[in-house]
Structure formats: structure tokens, C-alpha cells
Chain A
Amino acid sequence: MPYMISWITVALFNVSIFSGLVVAFVYKPSLAYESVQKLTFLVPYGDIFRELHYFSSEAFLVMTLVHVVLELRKKEIVISATSWNYSLLALGALFFVMFTGYVLKADLSGLSAGEVALSLLKQTPGMNFFLPLFEDTSLFVWKFYLWHILFLPIILVYALLLHVKTFRTKMWSIGLGVSVLCMVFFTMPRDIAPDMMGVHVTGPWFFKGAENLLMFGIHPVVVDVVMFFPFALLVCYFYKPFWRTGIRIVLILWSVAYAIFSFI
């Protein structure tokens, strides 16, 4: 069946949206950490929905990346420029929606990740201008919350529709099945209480490389460029057919380098 991977990816997106709506019922940004704990331990079956949301989203990201790799391996690009460009927009939005979701759990790792992100924004020249879009002085998670449940999903859905045309898929049950299998075979990382001592927190796995770069003292602007680089390459990939092989190689090198940096 053609594009099976792609449709499973869409199915996972559907599960993520559905489970996201469910957990949004209990999540309270004003008592972020407490509401997440309540969801996980007190609300009946709240842990199922939380894990469903977590695993379906992670699986969605992973499958998206698999999909990108598979498509890049093909000789021809069969979609339009619009579809291509919006897919890149969706990919960017996806990383940010995953990141804001990570911050929203408001445990020590989430809050610290949020602080680091704001710090990064402040230290990138020009981006300081957009700081109020992400920073709220009285309720830390608030703007992240708006981005995660509203702005980014709107962008993501809009962009994805222009890429995929529909979200209806026969694979919806497989999406659910994959998520449940992940729940069975993997464990969600434990929350770290915001006031816990003597712990070392890290960020989401896909930003580990960037985090390590920052830890080694690389300037934030450089890190921004490094993270944006593959997207720039992918835009060029469409418009410069002659460069495609070269771009593929560079992308592979970039990925390997990033992976190495993630594990240091």
C-alpha cells in the first residue's frame, strides 16, 4: 500500500490530537505541576490518557522523521512546491509543539527547559523583540500553553492540510495500536518535582544536541543557526535539483554530528 508510513504518521497525529483534548480537560496552567500529578495519579485512568498523548506524540515525531528520510531517498519529488514548503513549516511547528508540551508538564525539567528557551531567545539578537510572545511574568507556563494548544496546532493543521489534503485515514486504528504498544513496552520518563534537590535535568531528546552545544559554551546564535540549517537545506532541496545529492550527504553528516553531540 503506497504511503503506508505516511498515513500511519497521520493516524498518530489524530491520536495525539484526541488524547490532547482529553488531557486538556484536567490540565490547569495556573497549577500546572499539581494538575499533571493529579491527572497521572488521581483522576481515574488519567495515566492512560497522559501516556497515550505522550507516546502518540513521540511516535508521531519519530514517524515523521522516518517519513522525511524515506521521501528523500526517492529519486523524484512528486508533490508541489506548496506542499513541500508547508510540510517543512509543519515539521518546524511539530518540533515546537513537542517542546512546548515538554515545558507544560511543569516539573523541574519542563520548567528549566522553558527557562533555557527564554534565555536563548533573549540572547539571540532580534529575537528579543518577540520575547513577550513566549514569556509571561506572572504565570510561567501560560504562553507556552497558548502556543501548545492553540497557535501551533492551528499552524500545524493548516500546514499539514496543505501537504496531506485530509486527516481521514484507514490507518487510525493502527495509530492507536502503535501508541498502546509503546505504552506497554516503554516507560514514560518520570516527573521530577520542581523542588527536588541534587538532580540533574536534561531537555527533550531531540534538543539534546543543542543543549550540549550550549553547555560547551557555544554562543546561542550559532546554536540557532545549527538548528535551522537542515530546514534551509530542505528548502533548497526542492528548488535546486542539481544539488540534491550534495544536500543529502550534508544532511546525513549533520544528523550524525548532531547525534554525536547528543550523546556526549
Chain B
Amino acid sequence: MRDVDTNRRFFVKNSIKFLPYLAVGTFIYPLVSYVRYEEIQKVSIAIPLLEIKSNITKIGKVLVYKKEKEVVVYSAHCTHMGCILNIDASKERFVCPCHSSEFSYDGVRLKGPAKRNLDIISSHIKDKILYIG
């Protein structure tokens, strides 16, 4: 019985010391949720087709390739380490400024440390407006 008494006493005596931490601890979960919130940018970018003047453009972080019959949208992130690709019109390729990976206008990886082809972002055209995402 003595041990139990001692333990209970220990608990009561020291609870003042660690209860505050417990109280603060209840903030941890809300804090994590708070910090982890990110605006879900599932909002489509809507662009009237006529505003896309050239057959290849970079709009923000996507590449828009207007072919004769369809429009393909790629993520402009290089599939190697994510740097944003540049459009090289003279070579008709997308070139990465970080490690010189190259992709064709069809999103196929041509050379460099990147291994995968470009990610295609879903898009559709309605009433002559391009919706990306």
C-alpha cells in the first residue's frame, strides 16, 4: 500500500509541473492542422483560346502546346528536380536550366538526368475557352 501511496503522492505533487505541458499539448494538433493547410489550387485556369497567341506558351507553371486539332498542357516542372523549364524555339524543345534536361514539344524526355516524360495536366476546351486542371 505504501508504494501506491507514494506513487499517488508523486503524481499529485508533480502534476502541477507537467499539467501545463499537457494543456499546451492540446494545441499541437490544431497547430499542425493550421500550418499544414494549403489552398487547394484545384481551381482551373480558364483562358480564352484566342488569347493564347502562339502554338507554344508558358503560362505560370504549365506549358500549353496548341496542335492543329488539340491542345495539350504539361506541367512546366522538369521531371528531374522540378526546375521550371524554358521554351527553346530554335531547337523546338523544352530545356531545363538546372541540369540541361531536354524534352520534345510532345513532352517526351530527350536527354539529360531527367528520366520521366513530362506530366500531362488534364485540360478541356469548352466554348473556345481552355480550362486547365
Contacts and interface: CB of A to CB of B under 8 A. Distances in A.
A120 interface: yes
Contacts of A217: 113
A200 B82 contact: no
Interface string B32-55: 000111110100000000000000
B35 A119 contact: no
Contact of B84 (A111, A131, A199, A215): A111
Contact of B39 (A112, A137, A200): A137
Given A112-B83, A112-B84, A115-B77, A133 B97 contact: no
A176 B77 CA distance: 41
B97 A138 contact: no
A116 B98 contact: yes
B39, B81, B95 — most chain A CB neighbours (10 Å): B81
Contact of B38 (A132, A197, A199): A132
Interface residues of A, number: 28
User: What band does the interface of chain B fall in when counting residues whose beta carbon is under 8 Å from A?
Assistant: 10 to 19
Contacts of A129: 36
B86 A195 contact: yes
Chain B interface, DSSP helix/strand/loop, else mixed: loop
Interface in B90-121: 95, 97-100, 113
Contacts of B77: 115, 119
Interface in A115-140: 115-116, 118-120, 129-133, 135-138
Contacts of B36: 129-130, 132-133
Contacts of B99: 200, 215
Nearest to A202: B98
B97 A115 contact: no
Contacts of A119: 77, 81-82
A191 to B, nearest CB: 13
A214 interface: yes
A257 interface: no
Considering the complex of A and B, which 10 residue pairs feature the smallest CB-CB distances, nearest first?
A119-B82, A132-B38, A112-B83, A115-B82, A137-B41, A116-B81, A132-B36, A119-B81, A201-B97, A112-B98
Interface of A: 108, 111-112, 115-116, 118-120, 129-133, 135-138, 195-201, 214-217
24 contacts: A111-B83, A112-B84, A112-B97, A115-B77, A115-B82, A116-B81, A116-B83, A120-B81, A129-B36, A130-B36, A131-B38, A132-B35, A133-B35, A135-B38, A136-B38, A137-B41, A195-B86, A196-B97, A197-B88, A201-B83, A201-B98, A214-B81, A215-B113, A216-B113
